[in-house]
Amino acid sequence: MKKVVLLRYGEIHLKGKNRGLFEKQLIDNIMESLLKVDENVKLKKIGGRYLLYDFNEDNLDSIVHSSTKIFGLVSVSVATEVESSPEAIEKSLKNLLENEELNLFSAKTFKVEVSRADKSFPIHSTDFERQLGGIVLDFFPNLKVNLSLPEKTIFVDIRENKKAYIFMDKIQGAGGIPVGTSGNGLVMLSGGIDSPVAAYLMAKRGMKLSAVHFHSFPYTSEQAKEKVVQLAKIVSKYTGSLKLYVVSFTKIQEEIHKNCKSAYMITIMRRIMMRICEKLSEKFGFQAIITGENLGQVASQTVESMTSTEGVLKNLPVFRPLIGFDKIEIIKLSRAIETYETSILPYEDCCTVFLPKNPIIKPKIDLVEREESFLNIEELVEDALNKIEIIEI
């Protein structure tokens, strides 16, 4: 009896003539992710789903765990592969029940569902279901068969390749569509709770991501940067490998602090961050900027503030996938994607350096531009871009 993993895909069924491209991208993403877990793992397509085989069974749990983070997959099952003869299937079923690998202890009702892609298989599906159901009842005499709403279903999938697959649980996959099928984006990654969740949501819709982080060393610590690297690593389990652009913001902040009214500090900082993102996008081909902003969450996240921030962009959209979420929903997602514990570690963000007491929360564009006229923004942006550090995650 050999263990294999079945991967089922979802929405890519719907993509008509692009289906080939979607599938190719999905297979590339699966292999990129799983070869890191097991260098021998192989994939083949079988009956509208993928089969993983030839991996070391010690890696089974890690393979399943990583598979549930790949966008485009809707469910994952660990299956036992056997020769597709009635005798072999019956024997394996007995073995699996005996070893408690098919665990029905907690259930009151069950059914066996046989699907027979191989029409040369000598027994009809319903007859074979009854036969196998009888074997299960020998082991669990108190169980009842319930065909319409069983608590547990044992699936037996008989394929044309003369193999049959026995499995019980379907583990929920990440859903979404394969990363790499919806363009390229640049996510602004702070050390907070929101931006990693924003990255996750865009990747879920197929966007390939790079990340940018602004730090203000020595006002912010080396650990604050390390924390962002750590967050990017967790996010990369969903997005695949990514580049993190680390930009020093110290000089820019000092210049704003020295030359502009303090109430405009945050607005001007945000606008300069955007200009740097735009330059990075021109250079590396990003088609959108992504932030973790959320309407009304903090004073600086007003519609006026967002309008003023994105007003500096000439031809690039800003995606804010969390715009309408409640904080509690964001935290729930952040726990689910395993970034929360890292995000809440204490840290300083460059936005909290030189924080004014009374920031303008509804900035007027002419007044902002007046304050900005005291700076040589082009030079500051160029300077920051020249000193960028690129970290491969």
Task: Using CB under 6 A, pick the residue from 232, 252, 350, 381 that binds ligand ATP.
Answer: 350
Please, what is the minimum distance in Å from the beta carbon of residue 183 to ligand ATP? Answer: 18
Q: Which of 111, 213, 225, 227 binds ligand ATP (CB under 6 A)?
A: 213
- Residue 214 sits in the site that holds ligand ATP (CB under 6 A): yes
Choice from 181, 182, 190, 342 touching ligand ATP (CB under 6 A): 190
Query: Do 114 and 153 form a contact (C-beta atoms < 8 A)?
Result: no
194 touches ligand ATP by CB under 6 A:
yes
Q: Which residue is nearest to ligand ATP (CB)?
A: 192
- Name the helix (H) or strand (E) containing 129: helix 125-139
For position 210 contacting ligand ATP by CB under 6 A, the verdict is no
What burial letters (b/e) apply to 169-193, b meaning 16+ CB within 10 Å? eeeebbebbbbbbbeebbbbbbbbb
Interacting residues with ligand ATP between 290 and 349 (CB under 6 A): 291-293, 297-298, 300-301, 349
User: CA-to-CA distance for 362 and 305, rounded, in angstroms?
Assistant: 6
State the minimum distance, in angstroms, from the CB of residue 28 to ligand ATP: 28
Q: Which of residues 343-362 bind Mg ion (CB under 5 A)?
A: 349
Stretch that binds ligand ATP, among 34-42, 56-64, 160-168, 286-294 (CB under 6 A): 286-294
Distance CA 66, CA 232 (A): 16
Q: Could you tell me the CA-to-CA distances from 210 to 27, 49, 81, 92, 185 in Å, in that order? A: 21, 30, 40, 47, 6
- Least distance from ligand ATP to the Cβ atom of residue 151, Å: 41
Helix/strand/coil for 156: strand
Return the number of the residue (355 or 365) whose C-beta is nearest ligand ATP.
355
Q: Which of 72, 150, 192, 206 binds Mg ion (CB under 5 A)?
A: 192
Contact pick of 77, 84, 92, 190 for Mg ion (by CB under 5 A): 190
CB atoms < 10 A from the CB of 317, how many?
Answer: 12
Which whole-number Å values give the CA distances from 28 to 39, 278, 384, in the listed order? 14, 29, 35
Q: Min. distance of Cβ 196 from Mg ion in angstroms? A: 11
Beta strands in 196-250 (DSSP E): 208-215, 243-248
Tokens 């650990």 identify what position?
Answer: 223
Under the phi-then-psi rule, with left for phi > 0, alpha for psi from -120 to 50, and beta for the rest, what region is 316?
beta
Which of ligand ATP, Mg ion, none interacts with 338 (beta carbon under 5 to 8 A by kind)? none
Query: Per CB under 6 A, does 188 bind ligand ATP?
Result: yes
How near is the Cβ of 133 to Mg ion at its closest, in Å?
Answer: 56
- Binding at 365: pick from Mg ion, ligand ATP, none (beta carbon under 5-8 Å per type): none
In this structure, the dihedral spanned by the alpha carbons of residues 226, 230, 233 and 234, taken in order and rounded to 10 degrees, is -160
From residue 201, alpha-carbon distances to 185, 333, 367 in Å are: 12, 10, 35
The four Cα atoms 173, 177, 179, 181 give a dihedral, to 10 degrees, of: 160
C-beta nearest to Mg ion: residue: 192
Residue 175, token pair as written in the block: 């859903």
Q: How many residues bind ligand ATP (CB under 6 A)?
A: 20
Q: Which is nearer to ligand ATP, 77 or 301 (CB)?
A: 301
For residue 221, the minimal CB distance to Mg ion (Å) is 15
- Bridge-partner residues for 9, per DSSP? 73
**Token pair listed for 148:** 């319409």
Nearer of residues 12 and 350 to ligand ATP, judged by Cβ: 350
Which residues ranging from 144 to 163 are in contact with ligand ATP (CB under 6 A)? none
Identity of the amino acid at 251: K
Interface residues toward Mg ion, by CB under 5 A? 190, 192, 349
Q: Residues interacting with ligand ATP, by CB under 6 A?
A: 188-190, 192-195, 212-214, 291-293, 297-298, 300-301, 349-351
